[in-house]
């Protein structure tokens, strides 16, 4: 009898083990210092490619590159137990071929000594959701109050084809705007001639191209707006207003519809949602996901039509020492200081992001090595001369910067970043507080 | 007679030697052995591996390795390498450091991935590091 009971228990135990082995989500139980006590296979599958030292002994260490703030978030969580984060999206390398993935992380404090984490790969779900959101935005843009719109007919090159009242109402331009590129509605540093063509091309490919951001009125003032470009034929099918526009346009010439919508009133709500998804929690600049999304898009544009494209990798010098000397809050203030200098140093079209603990990256569309080097050097010098204001007083910090320039031999975003990383390493190796690019590597072998 | 006892985890050209062993002989080896067929379904699962993982053979044999038995290996570090070797029709003999979640404890191991271009079986060998 006793043997049978024990046998049942063993069977049950084995079934339970297999249940957790096969659970389609990563589960980890750790001590409050991050030491992993229990971990199931899916968690290991997702975390092994992230682990720098090939071990999975500490949860916070294993996730440091994609979620550098877990340790401090747990420390800052004062309740005896509860949800620290719920399904936070984290961009991560780690697909079957090492391509960019999106993980979802939930972290729960069980008590003072234990936490539980759930990790899932949600790459496909996120892509589906994004497409849905885009469609929603498109419908929203078409069917909501028409008085906020300028409906603008563009020719095949993206220049304003004719004037109407709505253009005057929303942008303040008179009929002298006819014949000028749609770039006239953007602030100077927010668009390039190449980007205008990219948007037309994307509209042609997918049926529309939609972007939110600052727009420019004729008097030089800005307003927050969305701009949607669609080929006239595609729009005419679905929308009576566009059909009217298309009917007026010269049928022999393929053109586009541009709808510029003044969204001043909506900015706060749309921006808050956008901010949470694409911005780094600590510094407010772009996060890793936003950077990789933008880099993939830019890479696609480059392949279609090669043009200068550079990337900067920026690493704070001796950051560990700053943390060790002054503590994490001061380290955080230093990171925020750097982010704010970066925000001020680059154009609006550039993508500025924090992609790791003390690692930043900037994507510079339209910039060749010379201009990338110029802005990198400007940032380096600004950092050197302006100490970070912190609770411990001004803290002097510097950064090393590596530059890579896109070329035919570069097959992926990862490959481009790796080359920037090599240049960054050379800058570190050369004594830190330096900017290094590919030609400098050739000039200084070893 | 006792040739299988001489088999060590790191023995060169171990694939040919493993292919001729039956289940009882695999059970006497001092490292974990998982044998999969062309469809990655588990065909061999030796006693040591069963003991380390806490799963009996009956629960494992006949199930796909990377989804049901060891999802932790389903990434570019392990599964993709076996797939790539099969797609290219080349031999694979690669030893790598890895962490398995044996009975939910993270355990440092060495994995040895073995595949031959024509062989019906591919193997993942597991050596527990001390």
Those of residues 70-99 in A touching chain B at CB distance below 8 A are 94-98
DSSP-assigned beta bridge partners for residue B6: none
| pLDDT band (50, 70, 90) for residue A166 | confident
What is A128-269's CATH topology?
A: Beta-Lactamase (3.30.450)
| pLDDT band (50, 70, 90) for residue A268 | low
Q: What is the mean pLDDT of chain A?
A: 85
Q: Is A218 helix (H, G, I), strand (E, B) or coil?
A: coil
The pLDDT of residue A325 is above 70:
yes
Average pLDDT over residues A312-332: 93
Q: Under an 8 A CB cutoff, do B77 and A44 touch?
A: no
Q: Is A348 helix (H, G, I), strand (E, B) or coil?
A: coil
Radius of gyration of chain A (CA): 26
pLDDT in tens, A94-138: 555 556 788 999 999 999 999 999 999 998 888 777 777 766 766
What is d(CA A11, CA A5) in angstroms, rounded to the nearest whole number? 10
pLDDT of A252 reads: 36
Those of residues 101-130 in B touching chain A at CB distance below 8 A are 101, 103-106, 108
pLDDT in tens, A63-84: 998 898 899 999 999 999 999 9
Using the Cβ of B50 and the Cβ atoms of chain A, whether some distance falls under 8 Å is answered with no
Average pLDDT over residues A301-310: 90
The pLDDT of residue A244 is above 80:
no
What is A279-443's CATH topology?
A: Alpha-Beta Plaits (3.30.70)
Using the Cβ of B42 and the Cβ atoms of chain A, whether some distance falls under 8 Å is answered with no
What is d(CA A92, CA B51) in angstroms, rounded to the nearest whole number? 34
pLDDT of A95 reads: 53
pLDDT in tens, A409-446: 888 999 999 999 999 999 999 999 999 998 654 444 33
Query: Looking at beta carbons, which residues of chain A come within 8 Å of B86?
Result: none
Q: Under an 8 A CB cutoff, do B101 and A43 touch?
A: yes
How many domains would you assign to chain B?
A: 1
Those of residues 27-46 in A touching chain B at CB distance below 8 A are 36-46
pLDDT of A330 reads: 93
Q: What is the mean pLDDT of chain B?
A: 89
Segment (H or E) for A248: helix A240-248
The pLDDT of residue B6 is above 70:
no
What is d(CA B29, CA B7) in angstroms, rounded to the nearest whole number? 7
What is d(CA A105, CA A63) in angstroms, rounded to the nearest whole number? 10
pLDDT of A235 reads: 47
Q: Under an 8 A CB cutoff, do B99 and A17 touch?
A: no
A331: buried, middle or exposed (CB in 10 Å: 19+, 13-18, 0-12)?
buried
Length of chain A: 446
Distance between start and end Cα atoms, chain A: 75
What is d(CA A89, CA A108) in angstroms, rounded to the nearest whole number? 16
Other residues' Cβ atoms within 10 Å of the Cβ of residue A417:
21
Q: Which of A139-148, A284-293, B7-16 has the lowest mean pLDDT?
A: A139-148
Domain that holds residue B14: 3-128
Task: Give the residue carrying structure tokens 């790539």.
Answer: B84
| pLDDT band (50, 70, 90) for residue A360 | very high
Q: Which of B103, B106, B109, B110 to mutate to test the interface with A (most CBs of A within 10 A)?
A: B106
pLDDT of A446 reads: 34
CATH for B94: 3.30.450.20
**Beta pairing class for A114-121 and A222-231:** unpaired
Smallest CA–CA distance, residue A54 to chain B, in Å, is 7
DSSP-assigned beta bridge partners for residue A259: A151, A228
User: What CATH class has A19-121?
Assistant: alpha beta
Using the Cβ of A171 and the Cβ atoms of chain B, whether some distance falls under 8 Å is answered with no
As annotated, the residues of chain A forming the CATH 3.30.450.20 domain(s) are 19-121, 128-269
pLDDT of B68 reads: 79
Q: B37-75: b or e for each residue (b if 16 or more CB lie within 10 Å)?
A: eeebebbbbbbbbbebbbbbbebbbeeebbebbbbbbbb
A434: buried, middle or exposed (CB in 10 Å: 19+, 13-18, 0-12)?
buried
0.80 cut: is pTM over it?
no
Q: Which of B65, B71, B124 to mutate to test the interface with A (most CBs of A within 10 A)?
A: B71
CB nearest to B99's CB, from A18, A22, A44: A44
| pLDDT band (50, 70, 90) for residue A52 | confident
The pLDDT of residue A142 is above 60:
no
Q: Percent of chain A beyond pLDDT 90?
A: 48
The pLDDT of residue B1 is above 80:
no
CB A81 within 8 A of CB A39: no
Using the Cβ of B99 and the Cβ atoms of chain A, whether some distance falls under 8 Å is answered with yes
pLDDT in tens, A222-237: 888 888 898 876 444 4
pLDDT of A226 reads: 82
As annotated, the residues of chain A forming the CATH 3.30.70.270 domain(s) are 279-443
| pLDDT band (50, 70, 90) for residue A255 | confident
pLDDT of A129 reads: 78
Task: Give the residue carrying structure tokens 């230093």.
Answer: A334
Q: Where are the beta strands (DSSP E) in A179-281?
A: 209-216, 222-231, 256-262
Spatial neighbors of B112 by CB under 8 A, at least 6 apart, are: B9, B10, B14, B93, B94, B95, B123, B124, B125, B127
Q: Under an 8 A CB cutoff, do B59 and A14 touch?
A: yes
């Amino acid at each position: 009898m006793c043997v049978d009971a024990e046998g049942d228990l063993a069977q049950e135990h084995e079934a339970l083990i297999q249940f957790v082995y096969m659970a389609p989500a990563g589960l980890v139980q750790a001590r409050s210092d991050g030491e992993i006590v229990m971990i199931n296979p899916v968690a290991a599958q997702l975390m092994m490619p992230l682990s720098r030292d090939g071990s999975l002994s500490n949860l916070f260490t294993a996730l440091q590159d994609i979620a550098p703030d877990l340790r401090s978030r747990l420390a800052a969580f004062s309740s005896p137990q509860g949800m620290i984060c719920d399904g936070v999206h984290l961009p991560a390398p780690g697909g079957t071929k090492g391509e960019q993935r999106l993980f979802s992380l939930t972290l729960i404090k069980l008590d003072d000594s234990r936490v539980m984490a759930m990790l899932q790969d949600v790459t496909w779900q996120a892509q589906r959701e994004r497409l849905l959101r885009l469609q929603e935005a498109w419908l929203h843009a078409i069917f909501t109050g028409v008085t906020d719109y300028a409906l603008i007919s563009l020719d095949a090159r993206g220049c304003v084809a004719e004037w109407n009242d709505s253009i005057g109402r929303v942008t303040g331009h008179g009929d002298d705007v006819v014949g000028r590129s749609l770039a006239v509605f953007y602030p100077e540093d927010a668009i390039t001639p190449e980007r205008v063509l990219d948007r037309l091309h994307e509209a042609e490919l997918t049926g529309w191209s939609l972007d939110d951001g600052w727009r420019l009125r004729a008097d030089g003032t800005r307003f927050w707006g969305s701009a949607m470009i669609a080929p006239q034929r595609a729009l005419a099918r679905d929308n009576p207003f566009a059909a009217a526009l298309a009917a007026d346009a010269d049928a022999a010439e393929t053109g586009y519809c541009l709808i510029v919508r003044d969204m001043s009133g909506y900015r706060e709500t749309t921006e808050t949602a956008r901010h949470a998804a694409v911005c780094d929690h600590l510094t407010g600049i772009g996060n890793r996901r936003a950077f990789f999304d933008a880099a993939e898009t830019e890479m696609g544009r480059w392949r279609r039509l090669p043009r200068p494209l550079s990337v900067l990798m920026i690493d704070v010098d001796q950051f560990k020492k700053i943390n060790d000397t002054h503590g994490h809050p001061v380290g955080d203030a230093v990171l925020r200081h750097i982010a704010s200098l970066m925000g001020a140093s680059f154009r609006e079209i550039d993508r500025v992001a924090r992609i790791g603990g003390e690692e930043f990256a900037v994507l510079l569309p339209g910039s060749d090595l010379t201009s990338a080097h110029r802005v990198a050097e400007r940032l380096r010098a600004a950092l050197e001369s302006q100490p970070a204001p912190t609770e411990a007083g001004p803290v002097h910090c510097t950064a090393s910067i590596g530059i890579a320039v896109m070329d035919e031999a570069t097959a992926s975003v990862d490959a481009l970043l790796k080359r920037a990383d090599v240049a960054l390493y050379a800058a570190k190796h050369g004594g830190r507080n330096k900017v290094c690019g590919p030609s400098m590597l050739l000039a200084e072998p070893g | 007679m006792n040739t299988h006892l001489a088999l060590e985890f790191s023995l060169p050209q171990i694939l040919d030697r493993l292919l001729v062993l039956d289940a009882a002989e695999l059970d006497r080896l001092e490292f974990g052995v998982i044998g999969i067929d062309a469809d990655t379904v588990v065909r061999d699962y030796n006693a040591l591996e069963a003991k380390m993982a806490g799963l009996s053979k009956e629960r494992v044999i006949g199930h796909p390795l990377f989804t049901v038995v060891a999802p932790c290996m389903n990434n570019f570090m392990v599964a993709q390498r076996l797939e790539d070797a099969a797609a290219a029709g080349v031999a694979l003999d690669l030893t790598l450091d890895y962490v398995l979640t044996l009975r939910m404890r993270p355990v440092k191991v060495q994995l040895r991935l073995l595949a031959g271009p024509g062989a019906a079986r591919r193997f993942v060998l597991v050596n527990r590091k001390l």
